[in-house]
């Protein structure tokens, strides 16, 4: 039987353990509230630390080089918000195509060009044998009038050389009047022949009795941008000299043509229009763009390579005041100056134009000016549901920052300068989706999750 002296200490120890267990179980009732919640607070702090770490990813220099990351500081700028409108390259009326007509009735005896040929102002196109009685009679009348002028001139010369006392004054005056009438008739008939297409030397030959039986129809001068005629500089190279392209032949060899009949269609595509098609609801926006002279960017579809980048900015010249009843759209027009290059075939220089009527165009028309914004490439921004993010660099750490997107298209994203990212901060401009995937992988248990930003 145990000793009474050993039982008492054992009971004391058991009682102390029981009281301690009871106190631990009921601590939330009698401890101060801050002390009771302290372990939970410690757990919350750890969770917050994990959340901040989940918004950062660390990349080695090798990984950054492999991705080809482009990091540049943010710079506030002005941006033109645009709308995308379809369009098409079209000829500019009065400057692109023109018809060449027969000036007298005749028979086509020679066709000197073919469709696709390049001709310059003054080069021959057709030979036409004259069958016009009007032109033949005008040449005969000019020959007779020239002879009458010769006789009148010789008679007046004889009268003036005779002694004055033997010649009546009225007779001399009558001879002078006759000479003037004959000269006037010659000048009038000569101008009539020139109006029918004869050259000055041909009219002189007709006055001498050498009648013209065949006319050469030549390429006309080129009209300039302001309506002025532009002729070929003989010193200009074939690649830079203005030229027409034979677009279509309207007359065949041996065909009899009337005066004013179109023989061929010539085209010069140096000055064109881009015709955009917009809905009536967009008329106010386009009117504002035209009034302010804001530049419009054009993207040309179906364009072959080998041409230099097209960086010219187009402006709206005018808006059509009628709506197409079928498509319910209206047209607006932007002047376009074409580019050309040449090649030689069978001894002839042929021309190839860069932009061609019928070619499709996408027009980025500015409709609103956004001030003090950040403009980034589309690849810099990554989305998760309604949220948009960019990655800000700090050494080898890349921190994901939420941003507000004001406008975006296939190439660019416009961000508000609202303080989420600020001017001068270095932001990744490409591969935002790749960085976001790396961030997700890091948040899934990578040891870099506890790295700190310094």
Clarify whether residues 261 and 297 are in a common domain.
no
Clarify whether residues 339 and 283 are in a common domain.
yes
Confidence class for position 428, pLDDT limits 50, 70, 90: very high
Asked whether residue 14 is assigned to any structural domain, the reply reads no
Clarify whether residues 117 and 223 are in a common domain.
yes
Residue 438: Cβ within 10 Å count: 20
Q: Are 150 and 124 in contact (CB under 8 A)?
A: no
pLDDT score recorded for residue 234? 41
* CATH number, domain containing residue 418: 2.40.420
Clarify whether residues 335 and 354 are in a common domain.
yes
Reported as a single tens digit per residue, the pLDDT across 116-138 is 888 888 889 999 998 887 888 88
| DSSP states of 82-140 | EEEEEEEEEE-TTTSEEEEE-SS-EEEEEE---TT-EE-TT-EEEEEEE--HHHHHHHH
Q: Examine the pLDDT at 417 and tell me if it is beyond 50.
A: yes
> Phi/psi at 162 (nearest 5 deg)?
-80, 160
State the angle between helix axes of 133-161 and 200-207 in degrees (0 to 180), rounded to the nearest 10.
70
Clarify whether residues 89 and 111 are in a common domain.
no
Q: Could you tell me which residue, 413 or 6, shows the higher pLDDT? A: 413
> Domain range holding 435?
57-74+381-450
Asked whether residue 103 is assigned to any structural domain, the reply reads yes
Find, among 116, 80, 130, 123, the residue nearest to 100 by Cα.
123
Clarify whether residues 230 and 121 are in a common domain.
yes
Q: Examine the pLDDT at 30 and tell me if it is beyond 60.
A: no
Clarify whether residues 335 and 362 are in a common domain.
yes
Percent of the chain with pLDDT over 90: 29
pLDDT score recorded for residue 160? 73
pLDDT score recorded for residue 6? 47
Clarify whether residues 317 and 350 are in a common domain.
yes
* Two structure tokens written together for 53: 């770490």
Asked whether residue 41 is assigned to any structural domain, the reply reads no
pLDDT score recorded for residue 231? 43
* CATH number, domain containing residue 338: 2.40.30.170
Task: Tell me the C-alpha distance between 215 and 389, whole Å.
Answer: 76
Report the domain count for the chain: 3
Confidence class for position 447, pLDDT limits 50, 70, 90: very low
Clarify whether residues 258 and 314 are in a common domain.
no
Reported as a single tens digit per residue, the pLDDT across 149-180 is 888 888 877 777 766 665 666 777 787 888 88
Q: Are 442 and 406 in contact (CB under 8 A)?
A: no
Burial class for 76, CB neighbours closer than 10 Å (0-12, 13-18, 19+): middle
Confidence class for position 49, pLDDT limits 50, 70, 90: very low
Clarify whether residues 317 and 429 are in a common domain.
no
Task: Tell me the C-alpha distance between 249 and 59, whole Å.
Answer: 68
């Amino acid at each position: 039987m145990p000793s009474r002296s050993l039982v008492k200490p054992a009971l004391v120890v058991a009682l102390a353990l029981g009281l301690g267990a009871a106190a631990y179980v009921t601590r939330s009732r009698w401890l101060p509230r801050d002390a009771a919640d302290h372990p939970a607070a410690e757990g919350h702090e750890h969770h917050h630390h994990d959340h901040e770490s989940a918004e950062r990813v660390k990349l080695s220099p090798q990984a950054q080089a492999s991705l080809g990351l482009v990091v540049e500081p943010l710079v506030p700028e002005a941006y033109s918000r645009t709308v995308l409108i379809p369009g098409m390259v079209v000829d500019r009326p009065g400057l692109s195509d023109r018809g060449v007509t027969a000036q007298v009735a005749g028979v086509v005896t020679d066709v000197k060009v073919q469709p696709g040929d390049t001709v310059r102002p003054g080069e021959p196109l057709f030979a036409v044998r004259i069958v016009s009685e009007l032109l033949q009679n005008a040449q005969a009348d000019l020959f007779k009038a020239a002879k009458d002028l010769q006789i009148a001139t010789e008679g007046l010369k004889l009268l003036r050389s005779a002694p004055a006392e033997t010649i009546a004054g009225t007779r001399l005056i009558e001879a002078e009047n006759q000479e003037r009438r004959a000269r006037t008739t010659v000048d009038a008939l000569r101008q009539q022949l020139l109006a029918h297409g004869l050259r000055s030397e041909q009219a002189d030959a007709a006055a001498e009795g050498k009648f013209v039986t065949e006319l050469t129809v030549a390429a006309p001068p080129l009209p300039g941008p302001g309506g002025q005629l532009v002729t070929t500089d003989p010193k200009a190279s074939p690649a830079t000299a203005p030229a027409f392209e034979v677009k279509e032949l309207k007359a065949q060899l041996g065909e009899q043509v009337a005066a004013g009949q179109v023989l061929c269609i010539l085209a010069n595509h140096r000055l064109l229009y881009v015709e955009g098609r917009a809905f009536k609801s967009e008329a106010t926006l386009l009117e504002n763009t035209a009034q302010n002279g804001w530049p419009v960017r054009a993207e040309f579809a179906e364009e072959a390579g080998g041409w230099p980048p097209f960086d010219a900015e187009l402006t709206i010249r005018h808006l059509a005041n009628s709506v197409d009843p079928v498509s319910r759209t209206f047209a607006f027009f932007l002047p376009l100056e074409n580019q050309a290059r040449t090649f030689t075939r069978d001894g002839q220089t042929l021309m190839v134009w860069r932009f061609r009527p019928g070619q499709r165009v996408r027009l980025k028309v500015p409709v609103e000016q956004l001030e003090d914004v950040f403009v980034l490439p589309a690849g810099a921004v990554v989305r998760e549901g309604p949220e948009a993010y960019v990655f800000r660099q700090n050494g080898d750490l890349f921190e994901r920052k939420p941003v507000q997107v004001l406008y975006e298209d296939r190439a660019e994203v416009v961000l508000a300068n609202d303080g989420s990212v600020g001017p001068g901060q270095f932001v990744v401009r490409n591969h935002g989706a790749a960085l976001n995937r790396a961030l997700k992988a890091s948040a899934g248990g990578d040891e870099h999750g506890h790295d700190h930003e310094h």
